[in-house]
Each structure stands twice: as structure tokens, then as C-alpha cells.
Structure 1
């Protein structure tokens, strides 16, 4: 596996692969890699000639400076995990100047309104920051296929819209959520949880499974009330829970048989913000 730390050498590598008509599979990350990330590369390995990873903690998608400061940075360990996986051919670890050659400015995109729902409502400008760095990575990596986990389902929909808006010839693949044995969605933030907090956090997935049982049997307002009651406890704070149309991401209080719905939840455990979601049958 080759490791690239600057744009010029990485661009030469990509150009050589393209000249040889190699298909490229790509999954960008912010590091602190876990089995969920590796599952993206495992799928990419099956569908592409070359698999590329990137590690870059993107400043413009953080609204809280403390959250950016606390984000785990484990680059050497990440490189070892990628090597040991045997799925990745190259990893790109750019500097800020490689991603933002014209200064640390977010572009503005029209994502059709989905950027204002859920995470967008709580974190203004967040998805412009995501779009800015992903667009730059796409233009440098030149992938044929790109892979994103469904844990960040809204981000996945944003990336799909980004490709449409920019008319990029890239196929976006959503990959199912990778979970720990307890059901807790794997996340780089999980390493900041204490053993007790991690054990308590299993309630998030358990609640989503219960919601899936309740859906279409109990009204959505009643489901929301029950979920709020579940999280009336000292060790976890429910930031939001809602059920939304999977296409528009707009919250709904009623369901229609011809639409697909997904439950979204955000819970703060100590000072760690955990997100999860589930498609509702």
C-alpha cells in the first residue's frame, strides 16, 4: 500500500492509474478508523481495480471548535489498519493547503433543501463544509465508485445530490451500518466513551429496533413520546428523534404506504454526540 502526503505525488499516481484504464474505488474518512470503515474498502475491493482511502479532518464541517479539537487523530494506527486489511492500494493524507489552496472557505451548494433538515438544522453550514472537501477529493481522486456508510444517512444523500449538481460521473454506494456486538453503531467517537457509557449507549440501537416494531402499529406522535420517555435518564440526553421520508428527509407525523421511512436519533452520552438511524419496514 502506498501512502501519499501531498497533492502533486498523489496526482501523478492517479494519472498513471487512469492512463492504464484502471477503475478506482474511493472512500474518504477523517481517520480514527474502525471496522465500519474497513467494510467500505472490502466492498470497493470487489468492484474496482484500485482502492483509494483518504484521511483528512475537515475543519469547515465542524461548528463547534471544541469538537474539532477533540476529534481523535490516530494516523499511524490508521495506516496500519489499512495495510493489514489488504483491501487498499493507496491512502492519501493531504494537508490543509492541498484541500483549500485558496484559503479556508466553504463553498455554497444547493442541495434541494435536504441540507436544512436534521443535522443541517442543528449545524448551519455543516453540509457546505462536507460538500467543499468531498468535491475537492473527488476532483483529485477521480473515482469511478465512491462508498459511504449509512450511519451518516443524511450525508450520504447530500453526496448523491452533490454528484448530480456537479454532473460528476461517479457512482455513489451506500453501505449498511456496521455495529458493535451491543448494536451500537461503529463510530470514531466511540473511543471517547467510557466502558459504562458504551454499555449504556446500546440503548440507542435497542430503541430503534423497538421503533421498527411500533411503526405502522402506533401513531408517530405516540412513538416520539415513548422514545422521549425512554431517554429520561441522567446518563444520556436525547437531542432529537424523528421519523422522516427517506427521499426528502422531511420529518413526518403520518405515513403513506407508497413511501420509505427512516428513524433518526441523536443522543449525547457525556460529552460524546452519537447518531444512528434505521430503515423502517
Structure 2
């Protein structure tokens, strides 16, 4: 005898009050998103104002700047300021010095940060919290408090006025922040994964290379980008440690355009524009990698 299955009852429609509440919540969320987007857009426009002034005055002649001031529109497309800055400070040499220092610090800073954080976060060395606290304290020290000891030590060991001295200094400074950040991340690393690797016969270096490093790669890429840009923009320590024209970086060369009684504002703005372009290009090239690194770090 054949049996027929009764159709499943249709779900009861949601009450009208529930539908109105969902619609109201959706409307509020939409308004909140538009409000946040508007505020972010306004903040971005405010931050772009100095760059607009710099771009405006970079192509303005000294006569236009003297007559109309920094807010006037240039009467001609003046490019002599760019060529003057390029030849006066020997920009290719300064660019190479900045790239050498910033690139070396970025790579070495990340490497030192990984090794330190691996020992503190996974190795569980004795006094770990005190050591991490010291790294945090080192991040809070201003460079003005460090400049005289660094100057004196570099003089004593013969590294004064060399790129190597600046590379060593900034590697230590940047790795202090990287160690503090990565040690917090590795402190929560799953112990079961480490124990499984140890049961398979993996040593400490194998665990670091094949287990820890692949999981930290997105975070390390973000640190690499930050270390490069931070070091590229540094001014005080390179100003004190690099006194020879052949060893100076771009920020120091830009400051050299300002004399005691005379400042060529269009040439200074043109130099600032040229000096800013490499950092912007570096960020644009690695923007997708930077975004993936932040997203992967958030998911972990």
C-alpha cells in the first residue's frame, strides 16, 4: 500500500514588528557606514592639504613665490627648482645612500626581531616578561636621549660618518619594536603544533624555518614595509652621524638647502617632492602585499 508524505508546512511569516525592526537596524547600519566613510574622507582630505601646497610650490618660480606667497597659483610651469635640487645635492648618490640604509635596516631588523621573538615567545627563556618590558621601554626612549652615547661610541670604535653605524643603530631600534610585537604573537602560538613537530624529530631551527616562519610571513612583510619607510624618513640620527656629503641621506640633503639667512622655498618644495616619490612608489608596489599581511594577521 503506497503512502504519501505530507508536504512540510511553510514557515510562518515573521511578525510585522520584527520586519520593521530589521529594516530599521539595517537603515541605522547603513547610515553609520556612510557617516564613518564621510569622516574618513574628510580626514584624508585634511592630510592631503600639505602635499597639495608642496606640489603647488614645487612648480612655482621664486618671483611668483615672493609676489603671491605660498597660496598663489603659479603663473608659469617652473621646473628649474627640480633640476637645481637634483644637481645641487647629487640626488642619485643620496638616493642610493637612503636605499642602502633603509633596505638593510628593514631586512636585518626583521631577522633580529624573529630570532629574539622566537626565543622569548616560544623558547620561554627565564625572565621573559622582564625582557619584553625592557624592549617596550626601549621603544619609548626618545632619540634625543640616545644621540650623545651613540655619537661617543661610534667615535670610539671608528664607525662615525659611515653608513654602517646608522644601519646598526636603526637595526637595534627597529628590532626592539619588532621583538615586542612578535614575542606577543609567538607567545600564543599553539603548543600542540610545536610538540607535533618535535615528535617528528624537528630541531629548533627546523621548527623556526618550517613551522613558525610560514605562519609569521604576513606579519613579517608588514614589519619589513614599516621598517623601510620609518628608516627612510629618519632625520636626527643621520644628521648627527653622517657629516660627509658622500654618506648623507635624502632627508639630510633636503635640510642642507636651508641656509642661515636665505631659503629658496620653490627649490625646497621641489626637493621634498622628489624625495617623497620613492617612498610612495615603494608603498604602492607593496600595497597589495601589505593589505594581505594585515588581513592574514587579523584572521590569525
Common fold by TM > 0.5:
no
Bigger RCO of structures 1 and 2 (CA < 8 A, at least 6 apart): 2
TM-score (norm 2): 0.20
Structure (1 or 2) with the larger CA radius of gyration: 2
TM-score (norm 1): 0.21
